[in-house]
Amino acid sequence: MARKPYHHGNPHDSLLDAADALLAQTGAQALTLREVAKAAGVSHVAPYHHFPGR
C-alpha cells in the first residue's frame, strides 16, 4: 500500500519554524510541544512522530 502524502505539506519544517517563532515570543521555559504543534497547524502528537528523541 502506497503512503499518502501529508495533507499538511512539510510538517517537519513547519514544526521547526513554529518552535523558532515561539522561542522568540515566550522563551525556552514556556515552550511546549503541544503549543508548537498548535502553532504549526498539526496534531499534538506530530512532534513526537517527526522528532522521536524530543
Q: Profile the chain (54 residues) by mean pLDDT over runs of 10 residues.
A: 61 92 94 93 89 76
Nine cell digits for residue 35: 503549543
CB-side exposure of 30: number of CA atoms within 13 Å?
8
Report pTM: 0.77
Nearest 5 degrees, angle CA 38-CA 41-CA 46? 75
Q: Which domains can be identified in the chain, with CATH numbers?
A: 11-50 (1.10.10.60)
